[in-house]
Amino acid sequence: MRLAIEEAKRAALSGDVPVGAVVLGPDGSLLATGHNEREATGDPTAHAEVLAIRRAAAALGEWRLSSCTLVVTLEPCTMCAGAIVQSRVGRVVYGARDEKAGAAGSLWDVVRDRRLNHRPEVILGVLERECAQQLTDFFRGH
């Protein structure tokens, strides 16, 4: 999670909401990183999770990330939850809950919906205060 927090700091430097993500391989090695780049790129899909998933798939040379872990500072939204399910990420670890747009247990639970063909393990609340504080500090400054 500390690596994801560092990624989130990079997002804030470019005016993006400070969300960071990393994808770890089956052996725990770092496969890919990502941070929000919507403001920097003008791409509405440039969320930390989507970017990290894309980069991890490229690093592995395949789209199935079933043995991988996605670590992200903020609970994934519905778009990111869909990307997690579609890429078959095996485990999702997140810090701060997102009561307004969270789709991994807060507002919705897309990633564990029994109607879908893939349901990753979800671990929540890792370094939650630190992750939430990054977001609070960012929005107080804007």
49 is an active site residue: yes
CA distances from 9 to 40, 82, 137 (A): 14, 25, 11
Q: Is residue 47 within 8 Å of 20, Cβ to Cβ?
A: no
**Sequence-ordered strand ranges (E) for the chain:** 20-24, 30-35, 69-74, 91-96, 121-124
Instruction: Say which of 6, 7, 39, 49 is annotated catalytic.
Output: 49
Rounded to the nearest 5°, which phi and psi values hold at 76?
A: -60, 145
Q: Is residue 81 within 8 Å of 105, Cβ to Cβ?
A: no
Nearest-angstrom CA–CA distance, 4 and 90:
18
Catalytic residue numbers, as ranges:
49
